[in-house]
Amino acid sequence: MAAIAIVTLGVADVARSTAFYEAIGFRRSVALSRPSISFFAAGGTVLALYGHGALAEDAGLPAEPRAPFGGVTLARCLASKEAVDAAFAAALAAGASTLKAPHDAFWGGYSSYVADPDGHPIEIAWNPFIPLRPDGSLELPPDPPAA
């Protein structure tokens, strides 16, 4: 099975972004993290924070300024609407900015969006259709049998 092992965000200030993600509940790996890069447990996937320019160089890409929306969002799925409201408030207190306040979503869940200190969009949502495992990862339903 294919798996995404690490999602790396290019950030302007690794220390500032590290403090933000710790404040919203991510556990940083002290053993792996360095001043130039931080690694966080993220429910089976690892979230990494690395300098924007260094990440672009590593990928062989020009370090151009970020567009307002780069086509990617992160998502935290929580167990209830109340948990979404609490996580949204905690993100704002930690330095996030509001993109979309918590609301009943058209797809039947409850959703909000914040931007981290570098502008990366993070959805904070409750999805009644996909169960959560104890570690916060999602338990996708089994596929129907092939016809």
Question: In angstroms, what CA-CA distances link 120 with 44, 46, 138, 141?
Answer: 21, 16, 21, 29
Instruction: Give yes or no for residue 76 having a pLDDT over 80.
Output: yes
Mean pLDDT of the 21-47 span: 94
Please give the pLDDT value at position 137: 85
CA 52 to chain centre: 16
Tokens of 78: 């929580």
Mean pLDDT of the 114-121 span: 94
Q: Domain total for the chain?
A: 1
More confident residue, 131 or 101: 101
Please give the pLDDT value at position 44: 84
| Residue 73 lies inside a defined structural domain of this protein | yes
Question: In angstroms, what CA-CA distances link 52 with 34, 49, 73, 94?
Answer: 15, 9, 17, 21
Mean pLDDT of the 90-102 span: 97
| Residue 115 lies inside a defined structural domain of this protein | yes
Please give the pLDDT value at position 79: 94
| Residue 134 lies inside a defined structural domain of this protein | no
The pTM is what?
0.88
Please give the pLDDT value at position 67: 79
State the pLDDT confidence band at 138, using cuts at 50, 70 and 90: confident
Q: Are 118 and 17 in contact (CB under 8 A)?
A: yes
Mean pLDDT of the 104-129 span: 96
Please give the pLDDT value at position 4: 86
| Residue 147 lies inside a defined structural domain of this protein | no
| Residue 133 lies inside a defined structural domain of this protein | no
| Residue 69 lies inside a defined structural domain of this protein | yes
Residue 97 structural domain: 6-126
Please give the pLDDT value at position 36: 96
CATH, residue 33: 3.10.180.10
110 closest CA partner among 138, 139, 140, 82: 82
Instruction: Report the percentage of the chain scoring pLDDT > 70.
Output: 99
